[in-house]
Amino acid sequence: MNTLHSLKILHLGKYYHPHRGGMETVLRQQAEGLVERGCRVTVLVAGSDTDCGRMQKGVRVVRALTAGTIRSQPVTPTLVGLLRRELVGRGPDLVILHLPNPLAAGAWLLATAVGGVPATRLAVWHHADITRQRVDAAPARWLQARCLAQAGTVWVSSAALAAGSRELIPWRSRVEVVPFGIDPRPWQIREPRRDGPFVFVGRLVPYKGLDVLLEAVATAPGIHLDLVGSGPLGTDLSASIRDRDLGDRVRLCGELDDVELADLMSRARALVLPSIDASETFGLVQLEAMAAALPVVASDLPTGVRNVGRDGVTHIMVPPGDGAALATALVRLQDDDLVARMGRAARLRVEDYSRDHMIDRILEAAAVPRTSAGKDQS
């Protein structure tokens, strides 16, 4: 068995930086944190171009060319071959499969179905259940269940997800709650000014509750908002901003790089996370905002979202989908003293979400003796 300082760890995910999203940010934090501990880390993901091993901050990134998408899932015909090459040629001590990602789950099952793959330990990081797919959900869940059956460890980010996940019911004895953690340093370089607009950061997709957010802004005079991100609702949101006559108060910023986003957060008044359903299982962007000393206005969802901060101290929690309550929270945070006080509390609170703890658990799992790749652990 390798020592901890020479462990080889392979992450099998959907996308990787500079693609921005919750799963992608978690994957990046884990990969870079493991590199800092001396591990040799590879991430295998989808990409717009084939990339057979470019280094990003010490992380070896292998991208399988995407031929298209099926229900937001990247179709990567070369993924099985690339995964098998990694398993046979590099012999990772641990493979971490990030779910939901049914096509990657299928790639793991195919790559390990044929002989010749060395014994490899599989762990799963279960970010969320499949909740929005109506068609093809059953086969997608079947693929992921086969992988969960083979995993020695299944990690989730919150007790709420562990208790509420229907997909994890057969495997609950293997589930371990490990809250997400970040490296707060990039968000703490700049001193907060708090003289800018409210900010939303995330995918422009229905479950993020952006219609509710625009409704709230429209009924709260003097509130300004920056929307950071991209997604299928971009055109509709642009039209809604125009129709509500919010063009002078709401700005669509598109995607920002790390430096631009950190600068924007240093000037922002507060982060708004108005998600409307349990598809939002944690809201990692809350940690980034808290590290930047921002208060957070968030939907009080029955998921890990409600446990990240403390209502009335670091957060103002509002009922999901309630535009009037959201507007009231935004107006309340026009109080500069309240914003400063909650921002200081948020920066202290984020210390509870340590990337080091997340990395410790991965290393403990990697230190367990290997079992045969593809072998059912039940």
Taking the mean position of all CA atoms in its chain, how far away is CA 290? 16
346 in any annotated domain: yes
Residues 17 and 118 in one domain: yes
377 in any annotated domain: no
Is the pLDDT assigned to residue 1 strictly greater than 80? no
| CA–CA gap between residue 353 and residue 138 (Å, rounded) | 34
| CA–CA gap between residue 219 and residue 322 (Å, rounded) | 12
pLDDT in tens, 74-106: 889 999 999 999 999 999 999 999 999 999 999
Query: Which of 159-168, 180-189, 367-376 has the lowest average pLDDT?
Result: 367-376
Number of C-beta neighbours around residue 39 at 10 A: 24
Residues 38 and 146 in one domain: yes
Average pLDDT along the chain: 92
Residues 316 and 229 in one domain: yes
pLDDT in tens, 192-230: 998 899 999 999 999 999 999 999 999 999 999 999 999
Q: Give the pLDDT band (50/70/90) at residue 368.
A: low
Q: Torsion-angle region of residue 276: left (phi > 0), alpha (psi -120 to 50) or beta?
A: alpha
Number of C-beta neighbours around residue 184 at 10 A: 18
Are 236 and 305 spatial neighbours (Cβ–Cβ below 8 Å)?
no
pLDDT at 67: 85
166 in any annotated domain: yes
Residues 59 and 157 in one domain: yes
pLDDT in tens, 29-86: 999 999 999 999 999 999 876 667 789 999 999 999 988 887 778 889 999 999 999 9
What is the CATH number for 309?
Answer: 3.40.50.2000
Alpha helix segments (H runs only) across the chain: 22-36, 79-89, 102-111, 137-150, 159-164, 185-188, 210-218, 234-243, 258-267, 285-291, 305-308, 323-332, 336-349, 355-366
Q: How many domains does the chain have?
A: 2
Range(s) of the domain holding residue 66: 4-181+355-366
147 in any annotated domain: yes
Q: What burial letters (b/e) apply to 319-331, b meaning 16+ CB within 10 Å?
A: ebbbbebbbbbbe
Q: What are the Cα distances from residue 47, in Å, to 108, 147, 188?
A: 18, 23, 31
Bridge partners (DSSP) of residue 318 are: 299
Of the segments 5-14, 287-296, 358-367, which one has the largest average pLDDT value? 287-296
Pairing of strands 271-273, 296-299: parallel
pLDDT at 222: 94
Residues 239 and 154 in one domain: no
176 in any annotated domain: yes
263 in any annotated domain: yes
Residues 163 and 251 in one domain: no
Q: Does the pTM of the predicted model rise above 0.75?
A: yes
